[in-house]
Structure 1
Amino acid sequence: MPLYVELKQAALRQYYRRLIWFQRLPMNQRLCYILLAAVLIFGLIIIYRSYQPADSIAIISDTAVRVDFFVMSKCPDARKCELLFAPTLLKLSSIINFTVSFIAYETNSNEITCMHGSNECLGNKQQLCVQSMCSQTTLIKFLQCQSKQMENIPDNGEQCVKELSDNTLKWSDIDTCVKSNKANELFHKSLEKTRSASAKKSCTMHLNGKFWCMHDGTWYGCTEGRDEKSLIKAICSRYNGPNKPIECTTSI
Structure 2
Amino acid sequence: MDDDINEEYLPRRVPLEAHIMSKCPDARDCLHDLVLSAMVNVSNLVDFKLSYIGKTSEDDGVACLHGPSECLGNSIELCAAHLYPNPKVYLGFTMCMSRNYSEIPSEDLAKDCALEHGMDFGKLNHCLSVDDGEYSRELLKKSVQRSAEKGVTKSCTIRVDDKNWCIRDGGKWTDCENGSEVKDLVEEIYDLRWKHSSAYQE
TM-score by length of 2: 0.84
Contact 1:131 1:139 (8 Å CA) reproduced? yes
Distance 2:77 2:165 in 1: 22
Q: Structure 2, unaligned stretches of length 5 or more?
A: 1-9, 198-202
For 1:191-210, list aligned pairs within 5 A: 191-210=144-163
Q: Structure 1, unaligned stretches of length 5 or more?
A: 1-60, 243-252
* 1:183 corresponding residue in structure 2: 136
Of structures 1 and 2, the larger Rg is shown by 1
Which segment is superposed worse, 70-79 or 147-156? 147-156
CA shift digits 1:78-133 (9 cap, x unpaired): 11101112122133211111111111121121122211122111110011011111
Which segment is superposed worse, 147-156 or 74-83? 147-156
Distance 1:152 1:238 in 2: 38
* 2:26 corresponding residue in structure 1: 77
One-letter amino acid of the structure 2 residue matched with residue 185 of structure 1? E
Contact 1:67 1:99 (8 Å CA) reproduced? yes
* 1:129 corresponding residue in structure 2: 79
Q: Is residue 74 of structure 2 the alignment partner of residue 116 of structure 1? A: no
One-letter amino acid of the structure 2 residue matched with residue 160 of structure 1? C
Superposed displacement of residue 191, structure 1: 1.2
Q: Is residue 177 of structure 2 the alignment partner of residue 223 of structure 1? A: yes
For 1:1-252, list aligned pairs within 5 A: 62-85=11-34, 86-134=36-84, 135-155=86-106, 156-165=109-118, 169-179=119-129, 180-217=133-170, 218-240=172-194
Distance 2:161 2:64 in 1: 27
Which segment is superposed worse, 209-218 or 141-150? 141-150
Aligned residues: 179
Contact 1:83 1:147 (8 Å CA) reproduced? no
Distance 1:177 1:141 in 2: 19
* 1:45 corresponding residue in structure 2: none
Distance 2:93 2:190 in 1: 24
Q: What SS does the aligned partner of 1:100 have? A: strand
CA shift digits 1:40-99 (9 cap, x unpaired): xxxxxxxxxxxxxxxxxxxxx921111111110001111110111212213321111111
Distance 2:134 2:41 in 1: 34
One-letter amino acid of the structure 1 residue matched with residue 90 of structure 2? L
Which protein has greater RCO, CA pairs closer than 8 Å, 6+ apart?
A: 2
Distance 1:152 1:236 in 2: 37
Distance 1:235 1:87 in 2: 13
Runs of 4+ in 1 over 6 A off after TM superposition: none
Contact 1:90 1:140 (8 Å CA) reproduced? no
TM-score by length of 1: 0.68
Percentage of pairs with the same residue: 28
Contact 1:202 1:214 (8 Å CA) reproduced? yes
Contact 2:61 2:137 (8 Å CA) reproduced? no
